[in-house]
Structure 1
Amino acid sequence: MLTYVPVPLARVQLGRALPVDIRTPDGRLLLRRGQMLQSLAHREMLAQHQACMTETDAQAWQRALDRTMRAMRLKGLDMAAIAQLPMPDEILDTDYLEGRAVEGGWLDLQEVLRGLLYQGAQATTPLPRLQGLEQKAMQLLTADPDEGLFVLFQALPDLELGYCATHALLSGVVSALTATRLALPMSSRMLLMRSALVMNIGMARPQDHLARQLKAPSPAQRALITSHPPSSADILRGFGIQDPEWLDTVHFHHNPQEATGHAEQQAGVELLHLADTLVAKMAPRLSRPAMTAFGAAKSMVLEADAHSQQQRVAMASVLGFYPPGTYVQLANGDLAVVIARGDKATTPHVASLINAQGMPMSAYVYHDTSRPDHSVRAPVPASQINVRINLERIRRLRQQYGV
């Protein structure tokens, strides 16, 4: 889970753009980066809400302040004046930790990736950061695939987190897990993860904007959607990447039939395309509701032809019809969150959250849905669940029942 620390409001200048998102201690957004404190009363209101920021942003903001103070010391300015400096209104990407130094879990990784994607072609030292992001993602995925799916599916409906980064990570996880099921080598799984992380770097900010806009994409936006794969590959070339498999996987992830690599590489491009499409269907937009994981997986399998059937069935079986982090209604009427995949695609392990009378439960209640009295009756959209999930409690429940 993300760690939040207090914002030093007394040192934030009025009327200057904030370089970080401001949130409440439980993660609710108060001010988006780029917005500003309007008045002393506005500052007091944020103080009453215990304004916080992520630990990653706090560390980067402090580095930005340290950098500014060093520059002023070199100019010979008075130390007393330097000590009173306000927080800077700009954070450079070099103020953030490189990906290899990322600590924590999937949401910490998501935040660092979002920053890199937003910087796009202007990112500095991108290759070490990308290498670190890939290694961290694969480390987390290997340690606990179900937790990775749980956290990212929980994050997918939260558009305030930054859809582009969540989409990238979840696409990487889904494609890498499917590659494992298909017995593709580790090199292919790593290639899929690193390609998923940056496949949409050519339209990261517009991708987040599209997720939040109320109307369908305009012709200009559709043109950007169509053209972004080669644009993303061009940005990677600008970073100095010369790996033809990586570049081609990104370039052709929307049109895998146009890829011309060897059979193993072709399979990877097709897997990334499938994962990208599947995640997009399951992601909500303000302009349309999300498709349930069950509906998305079912449509993916039904659209299979002889060439793609093996990959599509493998991806559906890896996720299950009810992936961790999604919600279901049980035969007894409970509403539950899926906490781990089961032996079959239709029998996940779940934790009941809301009873049949519509009352939230004081404690999560574990159920194995392979039992008829607690079988899955139907998937439930995340928009219908108003209970905040505690990841630590889910971890303890999984440990208690060995799932």
Structure 2
Amino acid sequence: MKYLPIPIALLEVGKPLPVDVLSDSGQLLLRKGQPIVSEQHRDKLYAFKACTSLGDGRAWQHAYERMVHAMLLSGADLRDVARASMPSEILESDYVATEPHGGGWLDLQQALRGILYQGGLGLNPMERLKGIEERVLSLLQKDTEASLFALFQALADSSLGYCATHALLCAVVCELTATKLGLPGPQRKPLIAAALTMNLGMAREQDVMARQDVPINDWQRTLVAQHAARSEEMLRSFGVDDPHQLDLVRWHHLPDAPQALPANQTSRALLHLADIFVARTAARRTRSAQSPVTAVKSMVFGGSADLGMGSAMAQAVGFYPPGSYVKLVNGEVAVAVQRGERANTPWVISIVGNDAMPLSLYQCKNTAEPRHAIAAAVNFETIKVVVNAEKVNKARERIPKS
């Protein structure tokens, strides 16, 4: 029988446990429903390398992810979320939700956030990260436009947290740009893995910093400076031994570091660029988000990246990627839903009329046509209309195939 180590540090004294707790040899230490009674009791669990069954462990992990998601949606303080202990209840649905490689982007975001938040205390993190990597590629290959739409929309929703959305969007941007650049599959695989885990060492505080009303303090500044090395150390503790992934994570802020692997130069530069791009397009309470077109143009023409790589990213994602907002020449506000023939001509759906009234009829328009041309990008923070993703996907089905 396969067992999973349990996150003993995240167990609250006096709180009943929802699983049987076993030693690594299978000896029963605590029955389901019994609590840890003291810190000395907790030390004994460490000594016996406390575990639980594979099925219970996975369901318990999902219960934790569900709990964190509910706390975020309720507006809980992120420091309280970061201190949350493992839940004492597992629902039947938590067992169903542990089926491998299932769910959409928001399910993936919730699962990844749970791993990033728990860091080295997570249940079976390496296997679960591999499953997320596979699911990222599966969803992206199935429908690239819907993938970009879901992630750019999630980036604008602060209630979902930031760290996991940032990681998923970086992974997608890297994969699309690397494909555009012609990087071979074996080179792209560690790039996706690194994008998902490069901020592991500061994930909880990354969410705090994204929502705080004041500039980062000295302690946070030190954490930011050290997080790449911390992330690499944590991945090694998971059992990650791919030198390319570890190199990308360690040097994603210093892609030209002399200690870095020469063979990874292009991948490091790409990950660094994607990290900057996604960060610029995400809002903070201390600053507004840049529109994707502004962020891309500043990287392509602002000297912060290799011109060819910046151009490839612009072509891969688009100046107005699905999920971002624009104002049309006729005065309507629209959401981009599909990349067009050129980076600056996406297909869009108008959601606000030129009379400032919401529009309920979803019709796709080609901004390559002069009457539907884009006049300007629109910051998502000004959008008050909720976009229905299901209606967007149905409307996209009517776009002529090229």
How far apart are residue 31 of structure 1 and its match? 5.8
Task: Tell me the distance in 1 between the aligned counterparts of 2:106 and 2:156.
Answer: 14
Q: Which residue of 2 aligns with 1:29?
A: 74
Match of 2:10 in 1: none
In the alignment, is residue 383 of structure 1 matched against residue 392 of structure 2? no
Partner of 1:200: 199
SS class of match (1:360)? coil
One-letter code of the match for 2:361? Answer: A
User: How many angstroms does 1:378 deviate by?
Assistant: 0.2
What residue number does 1:91 align with? none
Aligned pair in 2 of structure 1 residues 207, 344: CA closer, same or farther (>3 Å)?
same
Structure 2 letter corresponding to 1:241: V
| 4+ runs deviating over 2 angstroms | 21-24, 27-36, 95-98, 259-264
Q: Which range moves more in the overlay, 227-236 or 143-152? A: 143-152
8 Å contact from structure 1 (residues 329, 377) kept in 2: yes
Letter in 2 for 1:167: H
Change (3 A) 1:236 1:355: same
The answer to whether the 8 Å contact 1:152/1:170 transfers is: yes
CA spacing shift, 1:303–1:35, aligned 2, 3 Å: closer
CA separation in 2, counterparts of 1:64 and 1:146?
30
Q: Residues 112, 144 of structure 1: CA spacing in aligned structure 2 closer, same or farther, 3 A cutoff?
A: same
Residue 313 of structure 1: CA displacement? 1.1
8 Å CA contact 2:69, 2:110 repeated in 1: no
Amino acid at match of 1:231: R
- Do the aligned partners of residues 316 and 263 (structure 1) sit closer, same or farther apart at CA in structure 2, a change above 3 Å counting? farther
Structure 2 distance, partners of 1:252, 1:323, is 28
Query: Do structure 1's residue 186 and structure 2's residue 182 form an aligned pair?
Result: no
**Partner residue, 2:346:** 348
Please show how residues 42-53 of structure 1 align to structure 2 within 5 Å.
none
Taking the TM superposition and a 5 Å limit, the aligned residue runs for 1:255-274 are: 255-258=254-257, 260=259, 264-274=263-273
- Whole-angstrom distance in 2 between the partners of 1:402 and 1:207: 41
**1:273-352 alignment to 2 at 5 Å?**
273-304=272-303, 308-352=306-350
Question: Quick one: which of 83, 86, 91 aligns to 1:62?
Answer: 91
Is the alpha carbon distance of 1:395 and 1:259 closer, same or farther for their aligned partners in structure 2, counting shifts above 3 Å?
farther
The letter of the residue matching 1:130 is: L
Aligned to 2:165: 166
Please state whether the residue corresponding to 2:360 is helix, strand or coil.
strand
1:255 and 1:22 map into 2 onto residues whose CA distance is 33
Deviation (angstroms), 1:97: 5.8
Q: Distance between the aligned counterparts of 1:280 and 1:173, measured in 2?
A: 14
Partner of 1:235: 234
What is the rounded CA distance, in whole Å, between the counterparts of 2:379 and 2:144 in structure 1? 22
In structure 2, distance between residues paired with 1:285 and 1:144:
29
Cα offsets for 1:79-119 (capped at 9, x unmatched) = xxxxxxxxxxxxxxxx7966x71422111100000000001
Q: Which residue of 1 aligns with 2:109?
A: 110
User: Percent identity over the alignment?
Assistant: 41
Could you tell me which amino acid in structure 1 is paired with residue 186 of structure 2? S
Q: What CA deviation, in whole Å up to 9, does each residue of 1:247-306 have, x standing for no partner?
A: 00100001000165565521111100000011001100111110111110111011337x
Partner residue, 1:357: 355
RMSD, aligned α-carbons: 2.8
Q: Closer, same or farther in 2 for the Cα pair 1:372/1:64, shift >3 Å?
A: closer
Stretches of structure 2 that go unaligned for 5 or more consecutive residues are 1-62
| 3-state SS of paired residue (1:318) | helix
Q: Distance in 1 between matches of 2:69 and 2:133?
A: 28
Matched pairs, number: 333
State the shift of 1:326 in Å: 0.2
Is the CA contact (8 Å cut-off) linking 2:332 and 2:353 kept in structure 1? yes
2:74 is aligned with what amino acid?
L
**Aligned AA for 1:62?**
L
Residues 333, 350 of structure 2: 8 Å contact kept: yes
CA separation in 2, counterparts of 1:34 and 1:227?
20
Aligned to 1:216: 215
